[in-house]
Structure 1
Amino acid sequence: MNLLLLTPEQHLHDDHWRLSERQASHVLAILQAGVGDTVKAGILGGSMGLAEILSINNNEIRVSFKALSQPADPPGLSLLLALPRPKMLKRILIDATSLGIKQIALINSWKVDKSYWQTPNLKADLLHEKMLLGLEQARDTLLPTLTLAPRFRPFVEDELDAWAGDGQRILAHPGDYPAMPHSQTTPTTLAIGPEGGWTDYEIDMLQKQGFTCHSFGSRILRVETALPALIGRLMQLP
């Protein structure tokens, strides 16, 4: 935890806040901070600054927050991701959020097991929790928007164009395609398929929406490996 991320339900009055049990445990056990000490903090959706510890009472910690700066501009990358294996979904969401992605859509694919859409890991509160962890890791306060698209064709035909907006649209897929671009400075939407890759039908549908296929080498990577590698190549992170 590199940032105490303060959420609306923690607000007491004025600039006073109550830390969650998890945050209080971190402050006491890891940071070993006491009354009068300051730690890096931020307001969800808002500014970043310092939290001064006002009181510690039976592991309940109250702080005052002083805003110092706004979060850095995000890299302008949107992620269209075939729904990954449930046990990796939480980790991938944390990583995607910590890398600064502010728009994520989890979409179906023919090679995505139908049972993945029934997993309890898709509950909104659990997904929200994992993205908060990503913000804490990266010292960011701006939460990504998350869209679930369990039906591939309706989303691609009816919603994808507006969702992706302006900018380049890149489809990562192994094969004889141009190399993946690098050091993008303009808005970009990146589509990453399941570990077996997109089907020909899915590629055709995405190409009709302006996506171009690019290769990242001949190796077949797990999604959790491909995601940070692709983003590290594509974007200059703030």
Structure 2
Amino acid sequence: MNLILLAPEDIRHDRLASVRDPRRLRHLREVHRARVGDVLTLGVQDGGIGRGELTLLSDDEARFALETLDTPPPPALPVHLVLALPRPRMLARSLEHVTAMGVKRITLLHTRRVEKSYWQSPELEPAKIHEHLVLGLEQARDTALPEVDVAKGFRPFVEERLPQLLEGRRGLVAHPGMPSPCPTGLSEPCVLLIGPEGGFIPYEVERLLEAGCEGIHLGPRILRVETAVVALLARLF
């Protein structure tokens, strides 16, 4: 936790914040080994970043006297990530990784090779998704919470939503065997689509290409989703 992310309800008034949830308190004690008087990096969700002095640390509360929180968060990546829903454990790690890298729009998509049981996972509950997003923000010293939505039908997504997403954006389908290597140093907005373990099926690739997306690859190696998404984002931006 490189940043103590404050939720709006943590702010008592402009100069005082109170943290009570067990995870952050445990991290302050066990990782930061914080003591009263320490000055730590703080940020307000969807707000600025600054510093705060720890004035109280007990078993159930930490209080901070806030300094000015006016440093903006790091810039977001100009990408809308469309990720075929991975296995629950991989979903948790992927959300944390892409949030830390600066992705602010994420759509979780159903495709043929996505197990239907994945959609019943507790990891898709809003509170769990929020938890993983917060962990990614804390890692990267960011405060801007990503937006996450789901698309449980591939065909409706391609026919109804994808054309709107591609307006003013470059569509990139990452899939083994595509003709073009992943571009580098991209500055234009894009939609990046990544398939599940095993990849998109041929029908899905055809529909995405017909919709106006470009097929790209990372070379001959087959990577896990959580590795591929980080490699693609790092190469693109």
Letter in 2 for 1:158: E
1:82 Cα deviation from its structure 2 partner: 0.5
Residue 218 (structure 1) aligned with residue 220 (structure 2): yes
Aligned equivalents of 1:165 and 1:3: distance in 2? 35
The 8 Å contact of residues 16 and 63 in structure 1, kept in 2 or not, is answered as: yes
Aligned equivalents of 2:49 and 2:40: distance in 1? 11
Aligned equivalents of 1:33 and 1:177: distance in 2? 53
Letter in 2 for 1:16: L
Letter in 2 for 1:17: A
Residue 44 (structure 1) aligned with residue 29 (structure 2): no
1:219 Cα deviation from its structure 2 partner: 1.3
- What is the match of residue 82 of structure 2? 80
Aligned equivalents of 2:38 and 2:178: distance in 1? 57
Aligned equivalents of 2:108 and 2:208: distance in 1? 15
Residue 99 (structure 1) aligned with residue 101 (structure 2): yes
Letter in 2 for 1:116: Y
- What is the match of residue 162 of structure 1? 164
Letter in 1 for 2:85: L
Letter in 2 for 1:160: L
Task: After the TM superposition, list the runs of 4 or more consecutive aligned residues in structure 1 that deviate by more than 3 angstroms.
Answer: none
The 8 Å contact of residues 82 and 107 in structure 1, kept in 2 or not, is answered as: yes
Aligned equivalents of 2:162 and 2:145: distance in 1? 20
Instruction: Tell me which of 141, 144, 150 is aligned to 2:143.
Output: 141
1:56 Cα deviation from its structure 2 partner: 2.8
Task: For 1:1-238, list aligned pairs within 5 A.
Answer: 1-19=1-19, 20-66=21-67, 67-235=69-237
The 8 Å contact of residues 82 and 109 in structure 1, kept in 2 or not, is answered as: yes
RMSD of equivalent CA atoms: 1.5
Aligned equivalents of 2:136 and 2:51: distance in 1? 19
**1:111-170 per-position Cα deviation (integer Å, ceiling 9, x unaligned):** 111111111211111011101000000100001110111111112211123235422111
Q: Which runs of 5+ in 2 are unaligned?
A: none
Aligned equivalents of 1:152 and 1:64: distance in 2? 49
SS in structure 2 at match of 1:201: helix
How many residues are paired up?
235
Aligned equivalents of 2:177 and 2:170: distance in 1? 20
1:88 Cα deviation from its structure 2 partner: 1.1
Letter in 1 for 2:11: H
The 8 Å contact of residues 103 and 146 in structure 2, kept in 1 or not, is answered as: yes
% identity of equivalent residues: 41
Which range moved further: 50-59 or 108-117? 50-59
**1:57-112 per-position Cα deviation (integer Å, ceiling 9, x unaligned):** 44521112221411121121221110001121111110111111010000000111
